[in-house]
Amino acid sequence: MKLVLLPGDGIGPEIADAVERVLESLERAHPIGLEVERGQIGLASLRDEGSTLPEATFARASAADGVILGPVSTADYPAPAEGGLNPSAEFRRRLDLYANIRPSRTRAGVKSLAPSMDLVIVRENTEGFYADRTMHMGPGEFMPTPDLALAMRKITRQGSERIGRAAAAVAAGRRGKLAIVTKSNVLKITDGLFRNAVQSAARDQAGLEIEEVLVDAMASLLVREPERFDVIVTSNMFGDILSNLAAELAGGLGVAGSLNAGDACAIAQASHGSAPSLAGRNVANPAALALSAAMLIGWLGRRDGNDAAIDSAVRLEAAVDAALGNAAGRTPDIGGAATTVEAGRAIAAVLEGRA
């Protein structure tokens, strides 16, 4: 199993170093033939190669079994014509990674505003209101006059059905409950199509309990009774917002893993940003990227029927949990004093039976 690790910007290189050491420990303790190869993206590759995502790097990454993508500082990039591509968006679009899967679960040792939360948000990743995912050519936002700005929203039956199938499969492996989140009382056409297509696809998965919840109600219910929900499926923008809300309620983005998946490949990517103000200080938490790597290994194991890989993914997530439950694995953002390096070592120690 070959993975390409792309550290990215800001705190990316620090957490990537920690996760690479964790994966080396995982392979020593539970061998699955895991190989990690590094590449360069972001501001470093812009400086050295003139692009934040060089074609050679993209080709090497897309030929691997999977990619671990570090956070990127897209706000600091020049225009795309000047080499400032968004690596995350490019991978999602060019590899058709239509499902963004983001678990939110409370973890021992991490202070939480929702102590009973254990859910997964499955977000449609390639359509919706976001301008870079709407049009074949040109942006999905435009200004007919200096005082009028318009945005196009793209919802297709095919895109909605496939995210419905993906979410239903996740729910079938958990508690069998699926909530479809829309604003269909107002966006009657686009969200009506999304809801109906998702429902139709999800019903192919026998035994699911399916409900529809309006997005404003869901924002309230995640705070009030998060234990009510198991798997939530929604469109791009709603999913982006709700998954950040759920992650903060469960303990923060620093411990929130994420996977971008298609039919043939997937990319691990922590839910948080590049935090440039923390770069170089050795205080960033590697847990989210490590959990994302565990999701990727598990996804590849299920795709390939590799039980050893599935088991390794479970062990890696459990090791992150154990490290977070100990002061040695908690960085300042979650009430501890460990450095990035120390937090990574704490995870590795659990994997190798030294903790």
- Residues 224, 290 within the same domain: no
* Residues 135, 152 contacting (CB under 8 angstroms): yes
Question: Half-sphere exposure of residue 52, counting CA atoms within 13 Å on the CB side?
Answer: 27
- Residues 139, 76 within the same domain: no
Task: Give the residue from 207, 225, 250 where a domain finishes.
Answer: 250
- Residues 245, 120 within the same domain: yes
- Residues 119, 220 within the same domain: yes
Q: Is the residue at 44 inside a domain?
A: yes
Q: Is the residue at 201 inside a domain?
A: yes
- Residues 91, 5 within the same domain: yes
Predicted local distance difference test score (pLDDT) of residue 131: 75
Predicted local distance difference test score (pLDDT) of residue 132: 74
- Residues 245, 128 within the same domain: yes
CATH number of the domain that residue 275 is part of: 3.40.718.10
- Residues 118, 242 within the same domain: yes
Q: Is the residue at 220 inside a domain?
A: yes
Q: Is the residue at 293 inside a domain?
A: yes
Predicted local distance difference test score (pLDDT) of residue 133: 74
Q: Is the residue at 314 inside a domain?
A: yes
- Residues 99, 119 within the same domain: no
Task: Give the residue from 200, 225, 250 where a domain finishes.
Answer: 250
Q: Is the residue at 307 inside a domain?
A: yes
- Residues 141, 244 within the same domain: yes
Q: Round to whole Å and give the CA distance between 8 and 130.
A: 22
Q: Is the residue at 222 inside a domain?
A: yes
- Residues 211, 268 within the same domain: no
- Residues 338, 260 within the same domain: yes
Q: Is the residue at 108 inside a domain?
A: no
Task: State how many domains the chain has.
Answer: 2
- The boundaries of the domain holding residue 95 are 1-103+256-355
- Residues 260, 141 within the same domain: no
Task: Give the residue from 223, 250, 277 where a domain finishes.
Answer: 250
* Positions in the chain whose pLDDT score sits under 50: none
Q: What is the pTM of this model?
A: 0.94
Q: Round to whole Å and give the CA distance between 236 and 188.
A: 17
